[in-house]
């Protein structure tokens, strides 16, 4: 407090029950389509990687849907996520640092473009909610704060959710009785 409280109040509208309810059909569609793709790949005799073929594409698609990014490159978003995480958490040589910094700049430019579009053309999406958020006393996110929040939603939501789904897939693959119980219910 008080900055966290101010930002949290401004973000509340983006996470409203109405916004979440609006996303339910799209999330159901994303899961169904991705499940069909994975099933078709398996039926064709190909090995499925639960993280690369399911968890990462699922989380990226849902986050992009939530934010309102209709046109996105999932592979690029995954690369941006790795670059941001590498800049934060691990030792890098100079070449890696420069390459990751370029990717982080690409991500920033992409987000800024999305946000400038929503400033001029508001939509029914989370980016518009953040760009146009106001508190009762007239408080507003700065453009930089909004960019930072969108970046955090893309990166943090992507990695943590994909890891959680990967853990779930591991549990289901190594505990057949539990998998059967879910299948039967």
Contacting residues for 66 by C-beta, under 8 A, at least 6 apart = 23, 125, 126, 153
Question: How far from each other are the two terminal CA atoms of the chain, in whole angstroms?
Answer: 45
Confidence of residue 133 (pLDDT cuts 50, 70, 90): confident
**Interval 108-127 mean pLDDT:** 94
Angle, alpha carbons 59-50-61 (nearest 5°): 20
Q: Which pTM does this prediction carry?
A: 0.85
Predicted confidence at residue 37, as pLDDT, reads 96
Predicted confidence at residue 169, as pLDDT, reads 93
Confidence of residue 31 (pLDDT cuts 50, 70, 90): very high
Based on the number of CB atoms within 10 Å of its own CB, is 107 exposed (0-12), middle (13-18) or buried (19 or more)? buried
- 66-89 residue pLDDT tens: 999 988 899 999 999 989 988 887
**Interval 158-181 mean pLDDT:** 92
Q: What is the mean pLDDT of the chain?
A: 90
- The token pair at 179 is 């998998």
Predicted confidence at residue 184, as pLDDT, reads 93
Predicted confidence at residue 43, as pLDDT, reads 95
- The token pair at 59 is 């989380």
More confident residue, 104 or 14: 104
Q: Is the pLDDT of residue 136 over 80?
A: no
Predicted confidence at residue 91, as pLDDT, reads 81
Q: Which residues pair with 140 in a beta bridge?
A: 134
Which residue in 69, 3, 68, 57 sits closest to 30, CA to CA? 57
Predicted confidence at residue 19, as pLDDT, reads 79
Q: Over pLDDT 70: what percentage of the chain? A: 100
Predicted confidence at residue 9, as pLDDT, reads 81
- 35-48 residue pLDDT tens: 999 999 999 999 99
């Amino acid at each position: 407090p008080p900055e966290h409280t101010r930002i949290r109040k401004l973000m509340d509208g983006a996470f409203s029950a109405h916004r979440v309810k609006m996303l339910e059909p799209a999330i159901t569609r994303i899961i169904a389509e991705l499940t069909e793709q994975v099933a078709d790949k398996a039926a064709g005799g190909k090995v499925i990687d639960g993280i690369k073929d399911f968890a990462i594409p699922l989380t990226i698609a849902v986050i992009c849907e939530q934010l309102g990014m209709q046109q996105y490159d999932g592979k690029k978003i995954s690369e941006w996520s790795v670059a941001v995480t590498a800049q934060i958490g691990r030792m890098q040589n100079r070449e890696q640092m420069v390459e990751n910094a370029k990717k982080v700049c690409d991500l920033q430019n992409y987000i800024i473009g999305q946000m400038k579009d929503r400033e001029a053309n508001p939509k029914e999406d989370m980016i518009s909610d953040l760009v146009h958020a106001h508190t009762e006393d007239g408080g507003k996110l700065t453009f930089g704060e909004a960019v930072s929040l969108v970046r955090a939603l893309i990166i943090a939501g992507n990695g943590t959710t994909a890891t959680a789904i990967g853990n779930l897939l591991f549990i289901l693959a190594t505990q057949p009785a539990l998998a059967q119980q879910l299948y039967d219910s």
